[in-house]
Amino acid sequence: MDLRLDGERALVLASSKGLGRASATELAREGARVAISSSSRENLDAAKSAIVEEAGVSDDRVVPVVIDLTDEDGI
């Protein structure tokens, strides 16, 4: 599928696992630079590695951002 996302940017919240990670993977596969988020740095690092491998993109195409929306100071 060609969604014409080459050069576009995407932000996927709660994207270290499950549907969020799957969405981020497909966006990356379609050419978007993807910012992924989680409250856990460990989960983000694992998700980034998996997305890079599964989507077949370079490491700089996936940007992990730690965000904890349950904490007022978490951003």
Low-confidence ranges of the chain (pLDDT < 70): 1, 3, 74-75
The residue to which tokens 């904490």 are assigned: 71
Query: What pLDDT does residue 72 have?
Result: 77
Residue whose tokens read 């990670």: 21
Amino acid at 72: E
Instruction: Give the model's pLDDT for residue 71.
Output: 76
At 56, list the tokens: 């077949």
Q: Can you give the pLDDT at residue 73?
A: 73
